[in-house]
Structure formats: structure tokens, C-alpha cells
Chain A
Amino acid sequence: MPIVVNLDVMMAKRKISLNDLAAKVDITIANLSILKNNRAKAIRFSTLEKICEVLDCQTGDIIQYVKDDINDET
């Protein structure tokens, strides 16, 4: 999938655990885990906003577009 979630990187930089982040962002640990492990299909702006607020970062620090290798070859 071209969209990569770098939440674990930001969490490590800010030294915050999954439990703490889930509590501050007000989403379940299960949902946060889905997001962290790149299994999410979509993210609400409100959730992204809260995550950026808690981690004090930009959206580009959390989500990143990575071109597929197949697209590069064509």
C-alpha cells in the first residue's frame, strides 16, 4: 500500500506508549494498533488532528506516500 503510517517512529521520538497515546487521543488501543501496523483503510481528520496535537508533529510525520516499485517501472 503506497500510504505508510510512521506512528511508531513518532511515538518512539516522543517516548510515549501505545496505551498513553490511545488514552490522550481518545481512541481504543485496538484501533491505534490497527493504525500503527498499517492495517487501517482510512483515517478521520479529527483523529489525525488529535494525534498531531498529542505528538506535537505534522501530518507528514505520521503518514507518508511511498511510490510502489511497479509504478516506478511503468
Chain B
Amino acid sequence: MLKIPRHVSIILTQIFTGVIFILLLLGAVFLPKIIETYFSEVHSIPCLIIFYCVIAVAFAVLVILHLLLTNIRINEIFIDNNVRYLRLISWGCVLECLIFLVLAQYFLISYLLAFACLFLSLIIRVVKNIIEEATEIKNEHDFTI
């Protein structure tokens, strides 16, 4: 298995985050056209609003991810800010879950997406708890004279 050096891995992740950001931006620009092509006129406006909400939350989560990765790159890992970022990302996933539940009245598959978002938020929540405990241990160590 190829082992990528840590700093390269972080940069690759940041690049990937940037790529997803651009894809979301393109999605936001072309969304009205996509909605017009694949949806009936009755449902087009509500679906457009819901999809823009999904994209807006995704943008916010990506920005927070970028901030988190920047902190990791400068070796600030077990800090309170990172715990806060993970908490926000988790809540972002819960928000996406709720938005997909609203979308489910138009697409049944959205129930699956909602469940995926909820499951992801749970995983991130557990990771946040681990980082929070590690931050506490590090603070204890740093303030041991």
C-alpha cells in the first residue's frame, strides 16, 4: 500500500476540498438549467430552493474543512478551535439531513441521502469527542510544570 507523507496528504486533501468547492460552484451556476430539464414546472421552484439550501450548507462545511486542514498543516491539531470546527461540521451534516428529508417529498431516494448525512454526522461527532479528549490531555500535559 502506498504511504503518502503526512504533509503531502494534508495538501492533497486541501486540493481535493478545493476541487469539490469548484464543483459545487458549477453546480450552483448550472442548477436552474438542470432543474428546468429534469423537473416538472410545478416542482421546479421548490426543488431549486431546496437544492440551493443543500449547496449553501455544503459551501459552509467546505470552508470549515479548509480552516481545519489549515490548522492541521501548521501543526495546531489538538486545539479548541478544531473541536469547534468538527462540531460545526457535524451540525452541518444534520442540517443537510433535514434538508434532504424535506426533499424526500419529491424524491424518495432523498431518504437514503438523509440517512447517509445523519450517519456521517454521527461519525464526525465521535471524532470530535476523541479530539476533545485529546485536547484536554494535551492541555493537561502542556500545563504540567
- Chain A positions within 8 Å of B, measured between CB atoms, are 27, 31-32, 34-35, 39-44, 47
Partner-A contacts on B (CB < 8 A): 139-140, 143-145
Q: Are A44 and B143 in contact (CB under 8 A)?
A: no
Q: Chain A's nearest CB lies how many Å from the CB of B143? A: 4
Task: Count contacts between A and B, CB distance < 8 Å.
Answer: 23
Option from A32, A42, A47 in Cβ contact (under 8 Å) with B143 = A42
CB neighbours (8 Å) of B140 from chain A are: 41-42
**What residues of chain B lie closer than 8 Å to A35, measured between beta carbons?**
145
Residues of A within 8 A of B139 (CB): 41
List 23 contacting pairs A-B, 8 Å CB cutoff, sorted by A.
A27-B145, A31-B145, A32-B145, A34-B143, A34-B145, A35-B145, A39-B143, A40-B143, A40-B144, A40-B145, A41-B139, A41-B140, A41-B143, A41-B144, A42-B140, A42-B143, A42-B144, A42-B145, A43-B144, A43-B145, A44-B144, A44-B145, A47-B145
Report the minimal beta-carbon distance from A24 to chain B, rounded to whole angstroms. 15
Residue of B nearest to A41 (CB): B143
Which B residues are CB-close (under 8 A) to A27? 145
Which residues does chain B contribute within 8 Å of A31, judged by CB atoms? 145
Distance, CA A40 to CA B145, complexed state (A): 7
Q: How far is the CA of A31 from the CA of B142 in the complex (A)?
A: 9
The smallest beta-carbon distance between B144 and chain A, in angstroms, is 4
A7 to chain B, nearest CB (A): 10
- Rounded to whole angstroms, the CA-CA distance of A32 and B139 in the bound complex is 16
Residue of A nearest to B143 (CB): A41
